[in-house]
A and B are shown apart, each in its own frame.
Chain A
Amino acid sequence: MTGFRLDEGGALIDRARPLSFRFDGHSEIGFAGDTLASALLASGHRLFGRSFKYHRPRGLLGAGPEEPNALMTLGDSSDREPNIQATMAEVYEGLSAESQNRWPSLKHDLMAGPLALMAPGLKAGFYYKTFMGPGRKAWDFYEPIIRRAAGLGRASHAPDDSRYEKTNAFCDVLVVGGGPAGLAAALTAARSGARVLLADETAAFGGSLFESLASLDGMAAQDWAENAVAELTALPTVRLLPRTTVYGYYDGNVLGAVERVQDHLAERDPDLPRHRHWTVHAGRVVLATGAIERPLVFAGNDLPGVMLASAVERYLTRYAVAAGRSAVVFGANNAIYRSAERLKAAGVDVRAVVDARPNPPQEPAHHIASAGIALHAGTLVSEATGRRGLKAVRLARADASGQPRDGWTETIETELLAVSGGWTPTIHLASQAGGPPVWSADRDAFLPGTPREAWTAAGAANGTADLAALMADGARAAGEAASSLGFDSGVTVVPTIEDPDATATPVRPLRAIRTRKGRGKAFVDFQNDVTASDVRLAHQEGYRSVEHLKRYTTLGMATDQGKTSNVNALALMAEAQGAAIPEVGTTRFRPPYTPVSLGALAGREVGAHFRPVRRTPMHDWHVAQGADMIAAGAWMRPRVYRRDGESVTDAYIREARTVREAAGMVDVSTLGKITVQGPDAGEFLNRVYVNGFGKLAVGKARYGVMLREDGFVYDDGTTWRLADDDFLMTTTTANAAGVLARLEKHLAVDWPDLRVAVASATDQWAGLALAGPKSREILQRVIDDLDLSNEGTPFMAVRRAHVGSMPVIVARLSFSGELAYEVHCGARDGLAVWEAIHEAGQTSGLVAYGTEALGTLRIEKGHVSGPELDGRTTLADLGMAKMASTKKPFVGQALMDRAAMTVADRKLMVGLKVLDDRPVRTGAHIVSDTMPESVASLGHVTSPTYSPALGCHIALALVSGGGKEGDRLTVVDPIRSGEHIPVEVVSPHFFDPEGDRLHG
């Protein structure tokens, strides 16, 4: 037991609300407002996880988003989520948390022993050196073992039943970060009248004001923060977003943020999402993102008990938790004196302040002396010792370069070592939306580069340390932002500040402290287990660029993205190269700043809501008749109407046979329909279709094919001339939107002189196709104002008529090869027209048929569809070369006869007749029948079916050179069945090639 709860204090905890939760199966207690980290620390836990590679025991290093070690898996059912920082997770009654990367338990991790022995072999690049030999056999063998040993938590395999939401926010000024600079910025912008959005990743606004001893406008810093939040909350133009991480900065001042709405609640409101994703559209952005304290690099620096000094203070002030009963504080800046005093005041036995600077400033030194704390100036902690946790630190005298002069001079037993290696401004967002970070030797840190978007960095993110200065910085940034947007920023909110910590003492950079041989590892990147010697080794082996270093050692590539390791690693690289840090350079930060839940990115667009579902006006009828519905793009279409005991195959064969013998009707409302209107509509269609439309008679339809500009076939369908200047174009279901977009583009950009307007009419029309020898007599029963005979409604005629009182358009078109009529009507009449015709056909044996039978009928006729129009076929490939007009130019004409598109071995569409009783499948390969094992594929099956008309299995296929009728080939499907099926090449027009039936 080391850490403990103080009897009083703790700005964020509510002692009146104790709660219990579980950690690794044991019951734990905490207070409302605790993080998982603070509650466990208060109960004396030191061990929070096992390290990624070596399974070393690890404790808390930090107290916020920088934490590399204390990663937990939260939840135990479908909401189970791995790799959550204990420092960011708030505890609630009933929370269940588990440590990671250990077996069987955190305390007794059996992987730790062998890995400690193997450690010398696990240095930088060991994967490449050890396993990537010739043939990679070793890697294939070891990979699963390594993956199991090195890792983080495991996600749930159950579907996530939490709800997530996405929303947009618009504001004049977005302030990222609710610390002192952010609060000053938000107040300044808000008082100018601007719409302000203030986001902070933690639960409470205030940031470092929680630790400040300053008085602001005569108030304690914490009270000032509370007043500021109260004022902002009361303003209708301000939105405060706590627990909200702004993770990405995108073009056009659009930022992504995730609000953790309910992760901290025991009782979740089912009407609220778990996470809410905000797309923030901001006029200006103030990046008051603060700074992260840097750890120090020395032997044993990863032992549980070695913590950032700022984190130690945060646990004291915010959660009233002391991280140990005894402490040593180590660093080279003035902040460590405040940490020492604070620990002392909390009742911790502070055994030493170790300041690397030979001449520490007098005033703080005097302070701690009077508090009875020993000061070791010009001294380093050269080593931390202990097995499962820190036991003692060894001190050594520092030379002028900040390295140990000789061996250690003194050993001090302690439970806690608070370290401060200076501050790293949090410039992730600035880097995402700006130029390269700029090194400041004064600040010993990278500062934001030149903005590429409308942002200003302020406060600690800008390298400012002094409270008064950073609040002024925030207020100035917000004032400029507001006035640039036209708001009167007469008031910049800068409180009158008296700060005992105010100091202008320059920081002394403290670099990696050299480790004596055999004295343990000094870690740079805690989460990915990268040591100082790994960085030096990478340099030795020639990985000089930071990008190479990063990939070779995996430094900065863990879930924390190097928040605590970046600058220490660059300093090591610089030292190895004998260069300055800015010469080594730094990597660019990319979104996200911290991990983003996939659920938040998906929002409600999951499951049935993944995309909109389109249903035809007859949908409910199909469902009521027991149709199997199938998705065709966004549309739902009936596949087959199965009767008792029928399989899908039985059903489609029956339906297709009935169409040929009597009649069938199919819902074709999904056909794309585009109105093409205007005096130049005929000319326009002439240009987009390969065949002519200009001379099409009014009241007639024509089948047309359109190419892409590159000469390949794009889409097909019939277009009807309803009046001189009024056409209705139909497209395939799949390409309806694409064809409309193309037509719009042609009219706007390519041929603006044409007087034509186009509009989608797909949803306005319902349609059905009535096909079969009895279709005429059935339809005539419901239509008495149109003669459906060959004289009154010849093949390809388009006529207006009525079913009852409902106006319809009857088009004598046939996809099935039978005598057939399409009947189209207003969408609202769709069901009534469908039912009227269905009813009228019952005495004639009419059935409804689905997409399977539709496919069978068109394959029997050799009509092309989606599988043949795959974007790689030409008109000639599909046997339609003769359709291309020679009398007028059309889109794609110039490029359709290029050399590669006319060679003899192109895959041409053919018919295949299966020579035994086995079905062939879409995508199966076609090979020669002589050497099916070894020859190259000649092509593939595009549209297979059983043909009731022919009494055998048939298919459309694309075959190299097309073969000739009577050729024997073999269909093979090595992945799915391995069968070899003999087929014969036939004409694709399997059934009624002369077309007698459709003219009947």
Chain B
Amino acid sequence: MRIPCPVCGPRSVSEFTYEGDATVTRPALDADADAWFAAVYQRANPRGPHSELWHHMGGCRSIIRVERDTGTHAITGASLVSPHEASE
């Protein structure tokens, strides 16, 4: 599997570390235990299109949001998740 890193181009999956389900947003730190329980443990685990976070540990160290089909492993998109991007 290759992941199209927006910074480095298509790179082997072995350079990346999975950072989890990108559809799960962490609640505020002072949110209650239920909200945190959901964020830490509960996953939809869909078969089909999925949005995931991958960390380019062996490359630019960016965190990338990857659109991947868990059934076919087909990757349809990848974009940078970065403080820079978010603050724009």
Q: Which residues of A contact B87 (CB under 8 A)?
A: 752-753
| Bitwise interface map of A from 872 to 895 toward B, beta carbon under 8 Å scored 1, else 0 | 000000000000000001110111
The count of chain B contact residues (Cβ–Cβ below 8 Å) is 36
| Bitwise interface map of A from 726 to 748 toward B, beta carbon under 8 Å scored 1, else 0 | 00000000000000010011011
Q: A251 and B31: CB pair below 8 A?
A: no
Contact of A867 with B by CB under 8 A: no
Q: A745 and B19: CB pair below 8 A?
A: yes
User: A748-B63, A894-B31 are known contacts. Are A254 and B83 too (CB-CB below 8 A)?
Assistant: no
Q: B53 and A749: CB pair below 8 A?
A: yes
Q: A752 and B36: CB pair below 8 A?
A: no
Which among A251, A754, A898 is the interface contact of B73 at CB below 8 angstroms?
A251
- Within A175-229, which residues are at the interface with B (CB < 8 Å)? none
Q: B30 and A889: CB pair below 8 A?
A: yes
Q: B1 and A254: CB pair below 8 A?
A: yes
Contact of A139 with B by CB under 8 A: no
Report the Cα distance A755→B83, complex, angstroms: 8
Report the Cα distance A977→B57, complex, angstroms: 44
Q: B61 and A744: CB pair below 8 A?
A: yes
Residue of A with least CB distance to B75: A252
| Bitwise interface map of B from 30 to 68 toward A, beta carbon under 8 Å scored 1, else 0 | 111101110111000000000001010100011100000
Contact of A452 with B by CB under 8 A: yes
User: A709-B40, A748-B83 are known contacts. Are A894 and B29 too (CB-CB below 8 A)?
Assistant: yes
| Bitwise interface map of B from 1 to 24 toward A, beta carbon under 8 Å scored 1, else 0 | 110000000101100010100000
Most chain A CB atoms below 10 A, which of B26, B36, B57? B36
Residue of A with least CB distance to B73: A251
- Within A20-60, which residues are at the interface with B (CB < 8 Å)? none
Interface of B is mostly: mixed
Report the Cα distance A895→B33, complex, angstroms: 6
Q: B32 and A894: CB pair below 8 A?
A: yes
Q: Which residues of A contact B26 (CB under 8 A)?
A: 709, 749-750
Q: Which residues of B contact A747 (CB under 8 A)?
A: 83
User: A890-B29, A893-B29 are known contacts. Are A749 and B81 too (CB-CB below 8 A)?
Assistant: yes
Q: A894 and B36: CB pair below 8 A?
A: yes
Q: B1 and A889: CB pair below 8 A?
A: no
B77–chain A nearest beta-carbon distance, Å: 14
Which among A754, A755, A895 is the interface contact of B37 at CB below 8 angstroms?
A895
User: A251-B1, A895-B36 are known contacts. Are A741 and B29 too (CB-CB below 8 A)?
Assistant: no
Report the Cα distance A107→B83, complex, angstroms: 75
Report the Cα distance A135→B32, complex, angstroms: 52
Report the Cα distance A752→B26, complex, angstroms: 12
- Within A351-400, which residues are at the interface with B (CB < 8 Å)? none
Residue of A with least CB distance to B63: A748
Contact of A543 with B by CB under 8 A: no
Report the Cα distance A617→B31, complex, angstroms: 46
| Bitwise interface map of A from 494 to 537 toward B, beta carbon under 8 Å scored 1, else 0 | 00000000000000000000000000000000000000000000
Residue of B with least CB distance to A281: B2
The tally of CB-CB contacts under 8 A between chains A and B is 78
Q: A741 and B55: CB pair below 8 A?
A: yes
Residue of A with least CB distance to B39: A709
Q: Which residues of B contact A748 (CB under 8 A)?
A: 62-63, 81-83
Report the Cα distance A679→B48, complex, angstroms: 42
Q: A894 and B83: CB pair below 8 A?
A: no
- Within A686-734, which residues are at the interface with B (CB < 8 Å)? 687, 709-710
Report the Cα distance A186→B42, complex, angstroms: 50
Q: Which residues of B contact A281 (CB under 8 A)?
A: 2
Residue of A with least CB distance to B26: A750
Report the Cα distance A898→B34, complex, angstroms: 10
Q: A252 and B1: CB pair below 8 A?
A: yes
Contact of A250 with B by CB under 8 A: yes
Q: A898 and B33: CB pair below 8 A?
A: yes
User: A752-B83, A890-B29 are known contacts. Are A254 and B2 too (CB-CB below 8 A)?
Assistant: yes
B53–chain A nearest beta-carbon distance, Å: 7
Report the Cα distance A895→B81, complex, angstroms: 26
Q: Which residues of A contact B75 (CB under 8 A)?
A: 252
Q: Which residues of B contact A889 (CB under 8 A)?
A: 28-30
- Within A237-274, which residues are at the interface with B (CB < 8 Å)? 250-252, 254
Report the Cα distance A199→B8, complex, angstroms: 29
Which among B39, B40, B83 is the interface contact of A754 at CB below 8 angstroms?
B83
A927–chain B nearest beta-carbon distance, Å: 34
Q: A895 and B53: CB pair below 8 A?
A: no
User: A891-B29, A894-B32 are known contacts. Are A741 and B57 too (CB-CB below 8 A)?
Assistant: yes
Report the Cα distance A452→B71, complex, angstroms: 11
Q: Which residues of A contact B81 (CB under 8 A)?
A: 748-749, 752
Report the Cα distance A189→B79, complex, angstroms: 34
Residue of A with least CB distance to B81: A748
Report the Cα distance A890→B55, complex, angstroms: 23
| Bitwise interface map of A from 266 to 291 toward B, beta carbon under 8 Å scored 1, else 0 | 00000000000001010000000000
Q: Which residues of A contact B27 (CB under 8 A)?
A: 894
Q: A745 and B36: CB pair below 8 A?
A: no
Q: Which residues of A contact B10 (CB under 8 A)?
A: 252
Q: Which residues of A contact B72 (CB under 8 A)?
A: 452
Q: A252 and B2: CB pair below 8 A?
A: yes
Q: B40 and A710: CB pair below 8 A?
A: yes
Report the Cα distance A543→B33, complex, angstroms: 50
Q: B1 and A749: CB pair below 8 A?
A: no
B41–chain A nearest beta-carbon distance, Å: 8
Q: Which residues of A contact B12 (CB under 8 A)?
A: 254, 279
B72–chain A nearest beta-carbon distance, Å: 6
Report the Cα distance A741→B72, complex, angstroms: 28
A634–chain B nearest beta-carbon distance, Å: 15
Q: Which residues of B contact A744 (CB under 8 A)?
A: 55, 61, 63
Report the Cα distance A252→B2, complex, angstroms: 6
B17–chain A nearest beta-carbon distance, Å: 7
Q: Which residues of B contact A749 (CB under 8 A)?
A: 19, 26, 53, 63, 81
Q: Which residues of A contact B35 (CB under 8 A)?
A: 894
Residue of A with least CB distance to B85: A752
B23–chain A nearest beta-carbon distance, Å: 12
Which among A745, A890, A891 is the interface contact of B63 at CB below 8 angstroms?
A745
User: A252-B2, A894-B36 are known contacts. Are A745 and B55 too (CB-CB below 8 A)?
Assistant: yes
Q: Which residues of A contact B83 (CB under 8 A)?
A: 747-748, 752-755
A713–chain B nearest beta-carbon distance, Å: 16
Q: Closest 10 interchain pairs by CB?
A: A752-B86, A889-B29, A894-B36, A251-B1, A889-B30, A252-B2, A748-B63, A251-B73, A752-B83, A750-B26
**8 more CB-based (< 8 A) A-B contacts, given A749-B19, A898-B33:** A251-B1, A252-B1, A709-B26, A748-B81, A749-B53, A752-B85, A894-B32, A895-B33
6 sample A-B contacts, Cβ–Cβ < 8 Å, listed by A number: A250-B1, A254-B12, A741-B55, A748-B82, A893-B30, A895-B37
Question: A residues near B, CB below 8 A?
Answer: 250-252, 254, 279, 281, 452, 687, 709-710, 741, 744-745, 747-750, 752-755, 889-891, 893-895, 897-898
